[in-house]
Amino acid sequence: MYKMAVKMRKVVIASDSFKGCLSSAEVARAAGMGVLDVCPGCEVVSLAVADGGEGTVDALAATLGARIRRVEVSGPLGRRVIAEYAIAPDGTAVIEMAKASGLTLLSPDERNPLAATTYGTGELVADALDKGCRRFLICIGGSATNDAGTGALEALGYVFADVEGRRLKGCGESLGKIADVDTTGADPRLKESHFIVACDVDSPFCGPEGAAYVYAPQKGATPEMVATLDEGMRSFSRIIYKVTGMDVTDIAGAGAAGGLGGALKAFLKAEMSPGAAMVLDAVGFDEAIKGADLVITGEGRMDAQTITGKLPYTVAQRASARGVPVIAICGRSEVDALRYFKTICQVTPSDMPLAEALRPDTASLNIRTAIAKTIKKG
């Protein structure tokens, strides 16, 4: 077996957060201490990373030295909220749409995808444009919306009208009424900008596997509302084709975030990218692992979804392709994925109560101890 403790010169740590317990940066710090406990002369490179969902702004801010900007914007139902995004040193804006238009901003009885809007997400983009940003990484998970991105586009100057020319609000209820899109008032700076959208679902824009049928029920939609939303999405897809020449109906990921993915692709020429891959590219992972003897990755719980493209799996793929062994750390593991990882290290002792294991100081010590033991064993 590879004698890690003997040959260790450089270790790269790129783990997701242990949700509800430790951030990605805190996991990396604890794992790094474990490495140095047994290899004191080793170079430890820590990358705070995420999968493109919750925590991506914080992770990239930590790794890239980005600054956090807080802005008051419209929430999903128009209530003003404080949303934050990150601006990297190279001017890239990192935006989590859930910060402005997310489901967690609403109480369960407020959820209504007919009324909810992505307008606040568009306001974040507009603010970043004002700050000089022309490259955008947009994470589109966790939405409360099914407005096909019309709210976000409205905030950026697009105007949606019905057959009589009356202006419509960008929301799910308006989709079936849209007859035309006036793009002449769209912010001209959008044409100078490049958008990369983190999208980890392959849902099409509409239909049985589309945004409304698959995700709207989680956002408070009744069966009747789902049917109305899907009909509206189908109608709006025809308008999108008329205006942009792009048929988003069956594009994988176009249905993400209630159709925001499709809108960004059609109107802003966005590039769709798996979230984990987008983040790893942003932090320069491939460059960081050059000369590495080991990569450490992980997440709080490893399960069947881990090996369907989540961050640990993506890390393992990239590192293994370059001949670098990978060990995965987790609090609990529900999957035998050793063909992807050299070792899966479950850091929480089997007899430790969950409440204790979730304490940040305990979790950090468990990670540090487990990493040191794993490396020492080789």
Please give the radius of gyration of the chain, using alpha carbons only, rounded to the nearest integer. Answer: 22
Residue span(s) of the chain under CATH 3.90.1510.10 come to 56-275
pLDDT at 1: 37
The 10 Å Cβ neighbour count of residue 110 is 16
267, 237 Cβ separation under 8 angstroms: no
The 10 Å Cβ neighbour count of residue 98 is 25
With 0-12 / 13-18 / 19 or more C-beta atoms within 10 angstroms meaning exposed / middle / buried, residue 14 is buried
pLDDT at 2: 42
Residue span(s) of the chain under CATH 3.40.50.10350 come to 4-49+292-377
List the pLDDT tens digit at each of the 378 positions of the chain. 344 555 789 999 999 999 889 999 999 999 999 999 999 999 999 999 998 877 889 888 889 899 999 999 999 999 999 999 999 999 999 999 999 999 999 999 999 999 999 999 999 999 999 999 999 999 998 899 999 999 999 999 999 999 999 999 999 999 999 999 999 999 999 999 999 999 878 899 999 999 999 999 999 999 999 999 999 999 999 999 999 999 999 999 999 999 999 999 999 999 999 999 999 999 999 999 999 999 999 999 888 777 777 899 999 999 999 999 999 999 988 766 667 799 999 999 989 999 999 999 999 999 999 999 999 887
pTM metric for this prediction:
0.87
User: What CATH topology corresponds to 56-275?
Assistant: Glycerate kinase, domain 2 (3.90.1510)
E strands, the chain, in order: 10-13, 43-46, 67-74, 80-87, 92-96, 135-139, 159-161, 167-168, 180-182, 194-198, 271-273, 294-298, 301-302, 326-330, 332-333, 343-346
CATH code for the part of the protein at 4-49+292-377: 3.40.50.10350
DSSP state of 209: T
Q: Rounded to 5 degrees, what are φ and ψ at 313?
A: -65, -45
DSSP-derived 3-state class of residue 90:
coil
